[in-house]
Structure 1
Amino acid sequence: MNIKRALISVWDKRRVAEFAKALSERKVEIFATSGTAAYLRSCGVNAKEISEITGFSEMLQGNVKTIHPKIFAAVLMNLFEEDYLRLLKEMNIEPFDLVAVNLRPFQLDDSLDEERILKSIDVGGVALLRAAAKNYRNVVTLCDPEDYDAVIESIDRCGDVELQKRRLLCVKAFLTCQKYDESVIRVLCDLFAVDPEQLKRNWI
């Protein structure tokens, strides 16, 4: 089976325990951010924390979780040339074959409190989704719980996730990032009294 190592970091935990359990039953090693790992363990799933890879605990009230060279190298490494891969192996960095990430919804009230807004913007999750999607041929990228079953079915059918399905999940991940960024832009335009249409005209 080509899916051997997974990274899971989810805000929306619908069906993730069942998905992780199914992966674990198929001998997939699971790593997760601390909150997700604790949830999975409470559901009886063996999940290791990514701090075992990075050597660091989460920082800044959980705002820095996955942003670490060992994590992003593990997600992107198969894109690089053989010399780079050899270096990463010397650094004991193993690739991830599957990344499941969904983002905390960027939905705020009308108070437009700048500090609260800026603290609410997801950085690591978006970056991780983009990195995994960029390397879709080597990393199955999941951002929607509705896709969990199809991935397990594909693994059971052929030991992998078919290329066309990977491409669909890749595009879905980039679309998710786009929609998330658009929601942030709308709020920041209101906060900073910026005319988004004027900005668009300036970019044309």
Structure 2
Amino acid sequence: MNLLPVKKAILSVTDKSGLADFGAFLVDNGCELVSTGGTKKMLADAGLPVTSVSDITDFPEILGGRVKTLHPHIHGGILADKDDPSHMETLREFGIEPFDLICVNLYNFADAVAKGLDLKAAVEQIDIGGPTMLRATAKNFHSICVVPDPKYYPVVRKEIEEKGGISLEFRKEMAALTFKLVSEYDAMITEYLSNNDA
């Protein structure tokens, strides 16, 4: 797929700068928003229509928020190859709708470390669902676009405004940037755990 129309997106972010404007732009361009927790609240408070991830999964967030997006109705919609008829048939069989854009940025683990939190508290700031969605979306860049940082919102907007969708070239570029970002995040956690006693 070369040009990707954006009709359904997940927004789930720690850094909420520019989020309401970006969400409003997506809605104005015919995109359905799906979100979690504080991100969903911010979008709703801005007057935007937004669906809870729990409504998609038909399962509540559990374990204090540790498990919310780790579900086939989320990852099936992220990982489906839209050019593969068998993938699309599987989505139809299980009532899963594909996503077109995943906008996720990660828990600020560096900030947790800087605050001098003890090991148990710091570990709670290790993001699991976020990197999983980022990696899944980046892997499937032929069918979906990953947006890992607010600084890319203007470029995504420009793509949609000028082309009516997001180009394959841009999606591939964002995928490479995302794998780099997740690698750096994991390296930071590796260093922290290696240098702190249990």
1:67-101 deviations in Å (ceiling 9; x for gaps) = 11110000001168433431221111010000000
Matched, 1:178 2:183: yes
CA contact 2:148–2:178 (8 Å) conserved in 1:
yes
The aligned amino acid for 1:121 is: I
The 5-angstrom pairing of residues 113-128 of structure 1 reads 113-128=118-133
User: Is 1:83 aligned with 2:86?
Assistant: yes
CA contact (8 A) 2:91 2:98 kept: no
| Residue of structure 1 equivalent to 2:35 | 32
Unpaired runs of 5+ in structure 2?
A: none
Q: CA deviation at 1:115?
A: 1.6
TM-score, normalised to structure 2, is 0.91
Match of 1:147 among 138, 143, 152: 152
Deviations 1:6-40 (A, max 9, x none): 00100000001100000000010110112211110
How do residues 61-140 of structure 1 correspond to structure 2 at under 5 angstroms? 61-78=64-81, 81-107=84-110, 108-109=113-114, 111=116, 113-140=118-145
More RCO (CA 8 Å, sep 6+): 2
**Residue 57 (str. 1) matches residue 60 (str. 2):** yes
Tell me if 1:161 matches 2:157: no
**SS across alignment from 2:96:** coil
CA shift at 1:119, angstroms? 1.8
Aligned pair count?
193
- Hey, what does 1:189 align to over in structure 2? 194
The amino acid of 1:144's aligned partner reads: D
Of the two, which has the highest radius of gyration? 1
Q: How far, CA to CA, are the matches of 1:18 and 1:109 in structure 2?
A: 30
Deviations 1:129-163 (A, max 9, x none): 00000011111100110111111111111111122
C-alpha separation between the residues in 2 aligned to 1:64 and 1:135? 22
1:197 alignment partner in structure 2: none
- The Cα RMSD (Å) is 1.8
> Normalization by structure 1: what TM-score?
0.89
